[in-house]
Amino acid sequence: MGCGKSWVCFSEHFLILDSKIFASGDFVVARYRATATQKGNYLGIAATNKPVNFQGCNFVELRNGKVIRSRIYADNALLYQQLGVLSLPKAATA
């Protein structure tokens, strides 16, 4: 069973370690750092049962108390590296 783009794929032990929320007018920004274990198919990546640590930032725009726009920014390359599906090049030495 897959769970598509949802973080539901990352177990019931999805834990937010640190978060900061900023709001001004109709805009809310939430920055977070979390840990979880991949238990389901995520974006075509079969369950690895590997623990991951990641961080991200959500930008939300509200109108009349309802969300009209939401964007999530995260370091997916680091997430894929932890899942074992991406190798990052080694830094060049001087």
Domains of the chain: which residue ranges?
7-83
Per-residue confidence in pLDDT tens, the chain, 94 aa: 445 456 666 666 666 777 899 999 999 999 988 888 888 888 888 888 888 888 889 999 999 999 999 998 988 888 889 999 888 778 888 7
Q: What CATH number does domain 7-83 carry, 3.30.450.20, 3.30.43.10, 3.40.605.10, 3.10.450.50? A: 3.10.450.50
Residue 1 neighbours by CB under 8 Å, 6+ apart: 40, 41
By the 8 A CB rule, do 22 and 46 touch? Answer: no
At 29 the pLDDT is 94
* CB neighbourhood size of 64 (10 A): 6
